[in-house]
Amino acid sequence: MKKPIFRGAGVAIITPYTESGINFPELGRIIEDQLKNHTDAIIIAGTTGESATMTVEEHKEAIRFTVEQVKGRVPVIAGTGSNETRIAVEFTQFAGKVGADAALVVTPYYNKCTQNGLVAHYTRIADSADIPLVLYDVPSRTGVSIKAETYAKLARHPRIAAVKEANGDISAILRLRAACGDELVLYSGNDDQIVPILSLGGQGVISVLSNVAPQATHDICQLYFDGKVQESAKLQIEYADLIDALFCEVNPIPVKVAMRKLGWAAGPLRMPLSEMEPANEAKLEQALRAHGLIQ
């Protein structure tokens, strides 16, 4: 059995920007607040962190800064994926060099490679890495999904340790578990499926919700692990409205707006992301207020 990189709620953390770069002091404050509220892992430079619009230098410095800020208190997982294999190799090697605990590697986007291409891509990265890989399956963004038989092939590699599964298809996730057993650790990539995926042997979630409700997201997982399944499910259901609001426009638009409303200097969204539509922003405010997060 491969060892989980973390167990519980990992935050897919936002990147607070200024007009000219990353606001590192504010990122440090956000990280400290996450740790104070029992977040179990920090995932930096992922989709929610707007990594697609980071420069190479910003991407690397965000990883380095986060590792140094966390100081080993929880695992740090660095987003290192790319649609160009050699760039993914470069980022993954860098993440290992500066002390990240694992790399989150999304399927190649736009290229839409074959399943054989996915095996070749991930194998090349894993062969070059000295840290574990978390595969990231999110076909709504990338246009390609990892099939169960492909997972089974990839799970044989000693450094391919886990998957963040965000395909939204519970039946496909069941087939993944049947194909791989304990040789691939499973994390939910969708906040509305934490408990269902835990019920299939998942070890936690890589979460957007955790940016604004870190303690509650941790508690959903911890209650489940403590055998309080109904309490865990009840808490997940209680947060359904906020989860819906956080995804009423493309992530990370709503969560960055939410973080501003909570008082964080989250900064601007980078184009081509745009500000929320007024009706959606009102829905988000209502959900934040319902959970006592704003007045």
Separation between Cα atoms, residue 153 and residue 123, nearest integer Å: 10
Tokens linked to 268: 């601007």
Separation between Cα atoms, residue 78 and residue 153, nearest integer Å: 23
Strands 133-137 and 102-106: parallel
User: What's the confidence (pLDDT) of residue 288?
Assistant: 98
Instruction: Return the CA Rg of the chain.
Output: 18
User: What letter would DSSP give residue 203?
Assistant: -
User: What's the confidence (pLDDT) of residue 122?
Assistant: 98
**Beta pairing partners, 205:** 9, 188
38 phi and psi angles, rounded to 5 deg: 70, 25
Cis peptide leading into residue 278 (ω within 30°): no
| Every domain of the chain and the residues it spans | 8-228
Q: What share of the chain is helix, strand, coil (3-state, %, to 5)?
A: 50, 15, 35
User: What's the confidence (pLDDT) of residue 26?
Assistant: 98
Q: Measure CA 221 to chain center.
A: 15
Q: Is the pTM of this model over 0.85?
A: yes
User: What's the confidence (pLDDT) of residue 261?
Assistant: 98
CB atoms within 10 A of CB 55: 10
Task: Give strand ranges (E) for 102-158.
Answer: 102-106, 133-137
Q: Which residue has the tokens 């054989």?
A: 116
Separation between Cα atoms, residue 242 and residue 256, nearest integer Å: 14
Separation between Cα atoms, residue 243 and residue 86, nearest integer Å: 35
User: What's the confidence (pLDDT) of residue 260?
Assistant: 98
CA nearest neighbour of 125 among 97, 77, 93: 93
Q: What sign does the dihedral 207-210-216-218 (CA atoms) show?
A: positive
Q: For the chain, 295 residues long, give each residue's pLDDT as a single digit of tens.
A: 799 999 999 999 999 999 999 999 999 999 999 999 999 999 999 999 999 999 999 999 999 999 999 999 999 999 999 999 999 999 999 999 999 999 999 999 999 999 999 999 999 999 999 999 999 999 999 999 999 999 999 999 999 999 999 999 999 999 999 999 999 999 999 999 999 999 999 999 999 999 999 999 999 999 999 999 999 999 999 999 999 999 999 999 999 999 999 999 999 999 999 999 999 999 999 999 999 999 8
> Would you call 164 a catalytic residue per the annotation?
yes
* List 136, 151, 224, 239, catalytic entry: 136
Burial 257-285 (b: 16+ CB within 10 A, else e): bbbebeebebbebeeebeebeeeebebbb
Domain 8-228 has CATH 3.20.20.70: yes
Question: Could you tell me if 188 and 165 are in contact, meaning their C-beta atoms sit under 8 angstroms apart?
Answer: yes
* List 17, 151, 153, 164, catalytic entry: 164
Q: What sign does the dihedral 106-110-111-117 (CA atoms) show?
A: positive
Separation between Cα atoms, residue 249 and residue 246, nearest integer Å: 7
User: What's the confidence (pLDDT) of residue 1?
Assistant: 75
Q: What sign does the dihedral 194-45-102-178 (CA atoms) show?
A: positive
